[in-house]
Amino acid sequence: MITAGIDCGAQNTKCVVLRNGGILGRAMEPTGFEPARAAEASLAMALRQAGIAGAALRRIGATGSGRPVLRIAADRVNPVRAMAKGARHFFPGARTVVDVGAEEGRAVRLDDDGNPVDFAVNERCAAGAGAFIEAMARALEVTVEAIGPLSLQSNREIPMNAQCAIFAESEVIGMIHSNIAKADISRAIHDAIAGRVASIVRRVGLQADVVLIGGLARNPGLRSSLARQLKGVQVHVPADPEFGAAVGAALAAAG
Amino acid sequence: MVSANKPECWRWTESSWRNPDLDWCTARFVTVGIDVGSVSSQAVLVADGRILGYANMRTGSNSPDSARRALRSALDAVAMPPDRMDGCIGTGYGRVNVPFADRTLTEITCHARGANFLFGPGVRTVLDVGGQDIKCIRCDEKGRVTNFVMNDKCAAGTGRGMEVFADLLGVPITEVGERSFEFTGPEPAAVSSTCVVYAKSEAIGLLRKGWTREQVLAAYCKAMAERIFALVERVGVKPGFAATGGLAKNRGIMDRLMRRIGLERLPTEWDAQIAGALGAALFAYDRCLKGGD
């Protein structure tokens, strides 16, 4: 059966086309101010990449914060279910799944069979989401792509006082003025966001295996800081972590 | 980082004031209170329990320097030499960095005492909205603190949040309050995001939809008022409501907040931003009367 999953996030809309669990095509579009159009565009691109006509699609599952406005999808998939299914697809032993996106962070604990038993969400505060890294990268005058690898060059631990992204920005500027190396500041930034993410994880209870998905899973600085915060528990990341929830939505649509 | 050609809308003018009716030469005790906040620092000079003069300056990256600068500006305003001071108390977030203070007190204690002076003994609720935190303080007729709540973890509802919006919309911070009433049609709904980072994205979306800057300011002032109201409610409001701190000067927030609370705020002829430093100076005066140094 061929299904599609669309994850309409705050920043990007991700689409995958699956046949019996195998990824045939995938695409990503900025969500912008028109999520429905981003969803249609990403679906068209993913279908083209898969070499499949739209008529061959059996079902479309939609998830992410923009899912209510996606009329092209018949199934609305709860984000917790999507992330659970997506993570299990890549790592069958997953018991704790963490999804960190541009504006939200989520953790869910699964039972042996992969059913969600508890979850926690942060969707109101930038401190535990990609928006935090973006704001800090701007203050530090490095790109979001560069800031993660930069933090790995440091082994100095500088605690940040501020949790709030707005206050943390002033703190970062203060560090720059105190001539602290950019790598060390970057490390402090990643330790700070990892601390927020780890606190969501602890709310649901940490259990191995831990899987990290979402756009922020691409950031090696966050991966390394989070592993430290979770007392060295290995954090598994799939090859294209930003598509994790979209894969889950496509699997949910397949039933 | 601020680029060279972009106007800095968060900036405001530093000021100082001298009481023309008082002279430090004839005073028995002249005491000083220094409030080093995250954004502004005040120095208030008190002569035998009356306000002699004060200065309101920006806090720099170095707290001791900010404290010294505020003191120097207040001393210059009344033309008094520093060795004439009989006592000095530091307060505020940078209070441990006031090198010339005899002791320190928390800004909660000082704001309650200062508000009692500025607004009279009828004050029972003091709302202090500063650059980096919000405090709501309940106090008695002597200005003693009976209870308080505070938010210092999140920029939502604080002066810093308002600065971010002033910069985003290119409206000077001192004009934000008035401009937030300059629109036609019904009052817009409050910005729905709590987090300032997300509220900013929401505001950009509203501007794209064709909202005027004034409408967006109205929506954000309303959101600030809602946020502050939630905190105020936790401590419970009693009539005799006084607003201190920098944001007391923003009518856009304060009028909307008072409408929500359903009370009028107490009037004062004084600059309510000096409440913390004034309270500290009054406590220093108490110490002089008791003979302690």
H, E, C per residue of B176-192: HHHHCCCCCCCCCCCCC
pTM listed for this prediction: 0.89
Report how far Cα A71 is from the mean position of its chain's Cα atoms.
24
Percent of chain B with pLDDT over 90: 89
Percent of chain A with pLDDT over 90: 90
For chain A, give every domain's residue range: 1-91+242-255, 93-237
Instruction: Check CB contact of B194 with chain A, cutoff 8 Å.
Output: yes
Query: Is 90 exceeded by the pLDDT of residue B250?
Result: yes
Return the higher-pLDDT residue of B17 and B9: B17
Q: Can you tell me the mean pLDDT for A126-154?
A: 96
Q: How far apart are the two ends of chain B, measured CA to CA in Å?
A: 45
Cα→Cα distances B184→B178, B211, B223, Å: 14, 11, 19
Instruction: Flag if B1 and A141 touch (Cβ within 8 Å).
Output: yes
> pLDDT value at position A33?
84
Instruction: Flag if B197 and A166 touch (Cβ within 8 Å).
Output: yes
Query: Is 90 exceeded by the pLDDT of residue B211?
Result: yes
Q: In CATH, what number does B125-265 get?
A: 3.30.420.40
ipTM surpasses 0.90: no
Q: In CATH, what number does A93-237 get?
A: 3.30.420.40
Q: Give the one of B164, B195, B208 whose C-beta lies nearest to A124's C-beta.
A: B195
Query: Is 80 exceeded by the pLDDT of residue B7?
Result: no
Instruction: Check CB contact of B164 with chain A, cutoff 8 Å.
Output: yes
Return the higher-pLDDT residue of B2 and A2: A2
pLDDT in tens, B155-201: 999 999 999 999 999 999 999 999 999 999 999 999 999 999 999 99
Chain B positions in Cβ-Cβ contact with residue A33 (cut-off 8 Å): 205, 208
Q: Give yes or no on whether A1-91+242-255 and A93-237 have one common fold.
A: yes
CATH fold for domain B15-120+273-290: Nucleotidyltransferase; domain 5 (3.30.420)
Q: Give the one of B160, B195, B205 whose C-beta lies nearest to A126's C-beta.
A: B195
Instruction: Check CB contact of B154 with chain A, cutoff 8 Å.
Output: yes
Q: Can you tell me the mean pLDDT for B9-36?
A: 94
Give all strands (DSSP E) within chain B, no chain letters. 15-18, 30-36, 40-47, 50-58, 87-91, 103-104, 125-129, 134-139, 145-151, 241-244
Q: Where are the alpha helices (DSSP H) in B138-274?
A: 159-169, 176-179, 196-208, 213-235, 251-261
Q: What whole-number distance in Å separates Cα of residue B162 and Cα of residue B168?
A: 10
Backbone angles phi, psi at B155, to 5 degrees: -75, -15
Instruction: Flag if B194 and A174 touch (Cβ within 8 Å).
Output: no
Instruction: Flag if B196 and A165 touch (Cβ within 8 Å).
Output: yes
Residue type, A149: P
Instruction: Flag if A124 and B194 touch (Cβ within 8 Å).
Output: yes
Sign of CA dihedral B150, B154, B156, B158: positive
Query: Is 80 exceeded by the pLDDT of residue A89?
Result: yes
Q: Can you tell me the mean pLDDT for B30-48?
A: 96
For chain B, give every domain's residue range: 15-120+273-290, 125-265
Q: Can you tell me the mean pLDDT for A98-103?
A: 96
Q: Give the one of A33, A125, A139 whose C-beta lies nearest to B195's C-beta.
A: A125
User: Can you read off the two tokens belonging to residue A209?
Assistant: 């295996």
> pLDDT value at position B96?
87
Query: Is 50 exceeded by the pLDDT of residue B1?
Result: no
pLDDT in tens, B105-118: 999 999 999 999 99
Neighbours of B174 (CB within 10 A): 15
Q: What is the rounded average pLDDT for all residues in chain B?
A: 94
Chain A positions in Cβ-Cβ contact with residue B61 (cut-off 8 Å): 174, 177
Q: Give the one of B61, B193, B196 whose C-beta lies nearest to A166's C-beta.
A: B196
Query: Is 50 exceeded by the pLDDT of residue B69?
Result: yes
> pLDDT value at position B3?
46
Smallest Cα–Cα separation from A100: which of A144, A132, A66?
A: A132
Per-residue confidence band for B292, with pLDDT thresholds at 50, 70 and 90 = low
Q: Which CATH number fits domain A1-91+242-255: 1.10.287.70, 3.30.420.40, 3.90.580.10, 3.30.450.40?
A: 3.30.420.40
Neighbours of B28 (CB within 10 A): 11
